[in-house]
Amino acid sequence: MFEKSLTDLIQGLRANKRNEADYIQKSLEEIQSEVQQSDMYCKSTAIDKLNYLHMLGYDTNWANFNAVEVMASPRFGEKRKGYLAAAQSFHQETDVLMLTTNLIRKDLASSNAMEVSVALDGLAQVATPELATDLFDDVAAVLGHSRPFIRKKALVCLYRLVLKHPEGLHALAPQLRERLDDPDPSVVSSAVSVICELARTNPHNYLPLAPRLYQLMNSSTNNWMLIKIVKLFASLTPIEPRLAKKLHGPLSQLICSTSAMSLLYECIHTAVVGDIIGVPLPVTDGVGREIDFAELCARKLVLFYESADHNLRYVGLVTLAQLQARRPELVVNQYETVLKCLDDPDLSIRMRALSVISGMATRRTLDRTVKKLMSQLILSNTIRLQPVASLPSVSNTEYSGKYSGDAADSDLIALATDATGASLVSARGSIVQSRQLSAAGPGPADSPEYRLLVVEAIVDMCTRQSYANLSNFEWYVAVLVDLVYTAGVDVGQLLSEKILDVTVRVRQVREFSVRLMRQMLSDGQLVSCATSGSSAAKVLCTAAYVLGEYCSLLPASSEDIPLLLPSCLDKLDGEQQATFIQAAIKAYTNWLRDVAGYWNTEIWELVRAVTASTMSQLSDLLAARANDGNALDGNTAVAELPLQVSSRLRHFVEITKAVSMVTSNPSESAPQLCLELHELFTAYELNPVSAAAQGKVPLPDGLDLDSPIGGPIPDTEHIMFPPPPPVSSEPRHRASQSSGGRKQRRGHKNEAFYLDGGDDVRHPHSLADLPDVDDIPVVQLDLGGDESENATKT
């Protein structure tokens, strides 16, 4: 019979690339008939082809029984194919697995080592709890096989069986101990691997093996095993601190002598993570000098993150971050190197470098670090920055030239205007220019996760330990505002919180901050981006609050008021609208008070004009909502405005009405009302209150919160519910409270005004009060001859 072999199938697939699916369908049909043949060779070839098709994603479970048949073949080549099919497609619920028990048992006992090995591998892959229980002893017997090649496989197989049959662990553990002494290094290595896996869930059990593992570490040359042992010790040292002292010597030896980078890395990693560097004994380095262990590790680590190989750089930075968490002073002098790593094209390396750099921030380095990070945000290839409308020139010299570095940093951009106030446009031009230069696809700086991390890192470095690293607060506020424009990710909440925090806490920076806030609110583009929930909206909301609160620090301007009632107001949510309106009221009253200082006829006209325009704006706001309402049901219209918004709008309307009444006639001097209105907001200063402040308020003497108010109310519950059965004195695992507590709860249960934590108030019977199952009387029902009687009764 001419049937296709595996090679033919593969060739056929390659020849039929265009109609692959059809070809495979045809082949599957052929295979279906082939597996039914009694000829074992035919069957096994079919199974082999199915293995291949399984890799392409086709389900082969319908042939499970045939796979088992092939597994039973006496010829090794065919048997192997069956086991492979089983490993690929059987899963825990496959029913034919039950048929395999005896088959596997026979193979495990075979005299042919290859058959044993194939059976071990297959069993390890598909073990179910039943198979594990049945075959455990057979596999354990194989552990004593004469060939090491079988012993090592049996160990791993036994481990997999133990995962399904946990009782086997008692038998496995002593075997593991024995195998650690096996003459063959591969078997020992397998034993170590299994111990490592087991120790992940339960390190305590394997602590007694530590001495033997220590010996192995000192004597072995098998790098893989050494790596495993070193990693294992990293998880054992936290639970056994004395191990750290013992490992100190051998680890430092290994670090100085090994040439394998992977082993060196694991030793350093363990030394740092397992806190072995904390042991205060000196070590001798490669040239015989005595140095501190931690320093040795730091020095060797440099090899990694300064290497040209990206993999070494990545793992080096990972461990550097760990070292920094424990010994920051060793890492501080690596600032320049890590700063360079921030420019790496690999995103993972950049992210690691970022976390190390932000841990290194000090007063001196903060400026450079933030400058570098900001330039990364700006120079991204695909993120579009929010276009900045022409800002009025700011004459504040600290703000200008913030990012203009020395000649070496010529690719950085001065975002701010300089002292002459003109270069913003040219600065923008240079941004465009540099973006065109790097015409490549999206780089790491375009990844939103990275940008988010950068923004958070900048903010974290600046605010750490109550601004310990900051020397210039105005610079910090300017950085925050720049981040609003350059972030490109949703960090509005974070930035607005930080702006608020620094403005309220640091008195000296308030004036500068308010000025910047006014600039932001004048930015038409930014305002048009502000919809409810957007990043820009949150920041603008905070800007409005700050402007309103501290508007007295700036020369008052009547333009503030329309700024604070922007066109986008109705797109914001209730809280934000309320903030804006409240700020507008504050600005209005502040301006009134200011102009009242130099009252004359022009001022009077100005006041009338501004008041009139404000009033019309407000009535527009109120009316706009009214028109939004349902045409059929006019009553719901005004109710659409949230309460805090409509109430504030009405307050404002009243205030403007009062002012216009008072200024209806020209007067010599300012009306008293104008002078005093602002005191609604400035009677006294409110300072921020810490979250723990309430706890510090001492309770007044004689305050008793524990005694019940009024006496116990007579029990009315038994009228509605029957009284609960008496509580049995047997201990029940459901009754977790002490009896004293339960009595107290019962007492409270009768007092309807006490809110109890539990269900007592709602259910008259708590679980603990229900009778136990054993207490239910068992009644003998005699159904024998009484059936006919029952039938007639119903």
Partner 1 sequence: MIKSVLIFNQLGKPRLIKFYEQIGTTLQQEILREIHALVAKRPDTLCNFLEGCHSMGSDSRIVYRHYATLYFVFVVDSSESELGILDLIQVFVEALDRMFENVCELDLIFHFDEIHYILMEVVEAGMVIETNLAEISRAVNEGKQLIKPASEHSRLGIGALRGFV
Region near partner 1 per CB under 8 A, out of 100-108, 187-195, 578-586, 604-612: 187-195
Q: What is the DSSP string of 35-52?
A: HHSS-HHHHHHHHHHHHH
Residues 380-419 that bind partner 1 (CB under 8 A): none
User: Is position 135 an interface residue for partner 1 (rule: CB under 8 A)?
Assistant: no
Applying CB under 8 A, which of residues 206, 305, 314, 652 lies at the interface with partner 1?
Answer: 314
156 binds partner 1 (CB under 8 A): yes
Three-state DSSP string of 750-772? CCCCCCCCCCCCCCCCCHHHCCC
Closest approach, Cβ 22 to partner 1, in A, equals 18
Separation CA 586–CA 563 (nearest Å): 13
Residue type, 470: L
Residue number with CB closer to partner 1 (198 or 565) = 198
Query: Which residue's CB is nearer to partner 1, number 55 or number 719?
Result: 55
Counting contacts by CB under 8 A, is residue 452 touching partner 1?
no
In the complex, the smallest distance separating the C-beta of residue 72 from partner 1, rounded to whole angstroms, is: 15
Instruction: Rule CB under 8 A: say whether 77 interacts with partner 1.
Output: yes
**Segment near partner 1 (CB under 8 A); pick from 192-200, 354-362, 484-492, 723-731:** 192-200
CA distance 406 to 471: 20
Minimum distance, C-beta of residue 56 to partner 1, in the bound complex (Å): 7
478, 488, 692 from 415: Cα distances, Å: 10, 16, 40
Measured from the CB of residue 297, what is the shortest distance to partner 1 in angstroms? 16
Three-state SS letters, 473-501? HHHHHHHHHHHHHHCCCCCHHHHHHHHHH
Pick from 102, 141, 181, 200 the residue near partner 1 by CB under 8 A: 200
Rule CB under 8 A: which of 247-306 touch partner 1?
Answer: 261-262, 265-266
Pairwise CA distance, residues 433 & 411, whole Å? 11
For residue 522, what are the β-bridge partners?
A: none
Helix orientation angle between 20-36 and 6-15, rounded to the nearest 10 degrees: 160
DSSP-derived 3-state class of residue 290: strand
Find out whether 300 and 332 touch, Cβ atoms under 8 Å: no
Q: How many CB atoms lie within 10 A of CB 443?
A: 17
Alpha-carbon distance 545 to 540, whole Å? 9
- Are 302 and 334 in contact by the 8 Å Cβ rule? The answer is yes
Nearer to partner 1, 11 or 672 (CB): 11
Q: Is 446 in the site for partner 1 (CB under 8 A)?
A: no
Interaction of residue 48 with partner 1, rule CB under 8 A: yes
CA distance 138 to 675: 99
Instruction: Give the nearest distance from C-beta 107 to partner 1 in angstroms.
Output: 14
Q: Which stretch binds partner 1 (CB under 8 A): 307-315, 405-413, 421-429, 626-634?
A: 307-315
Number of residues that bind partner 1 (CB under 8 A): 72
**Alpha carbon 472 to chain centroid distance?**
32
Q: Does 125 bind partner 1 (CB under 8 A)?
A: yes
Q: Which of residues 55-74 bind partner 1 (CB under 8 A)?
A: 55-60
The dihedral through the CA atoms of 429, 525, 472, 451 has a sign that is: negative
Of residues 114 and 291, the one with the C-beta less far from partner 1: 114
Minimum CB–partner distance for residue 53 and partner 1 (Å): 10
Residue choice 62, 65, 76, 721 for contact with partner 1 (CB under 8 A): 76
Which lies closer to partner 1 via its Cβ, residue 75 or residue 204?
75
Closest to partner 1 by CB, 9 or 330: 9
How many residues would you count in the chain?
794
Q: How far is residue 203's CA from residue 233's CA, in Å, rounded to a whole number?
A: 10
Distance CA 531, CA 388 (A): 18
Q: Could you say whether residue 539 binds partner 1 (CB under 8 A)?
A: no
Minimum CB separation of residue 46 from partner 1 in Å reads: 13
**What separation, in Å, do the N-terminal and C-terminal C-alpha atoms of the chain show?**
74
Q: Which is nearer to partner 1, 10 or 661 (CB)?
A: 10
Q: By the 8 A CB rule, do 358 and 460 touch? A: yes
Q: Which of 43, 313, 327, 518 binds partner 1 (CB under 8 A)?
A: 313
134 binds partner 1 (CB under 8 A): no
Asked if residue 5 binds partner 1 (CB under 8 A), the reply is yes
Question: For residues 277 and 300, what is the distance between their CA atoms, to the nearest angstrom?
Answer: 13
Exactly one of 159, 403, 604, 652 binds partner 1 (CB under 8 A); which one? 159
Contact set for partner 1, span 84-123 (CB under 8 A): 84, 88-89, 91-92, 112-114, 117, 120-121
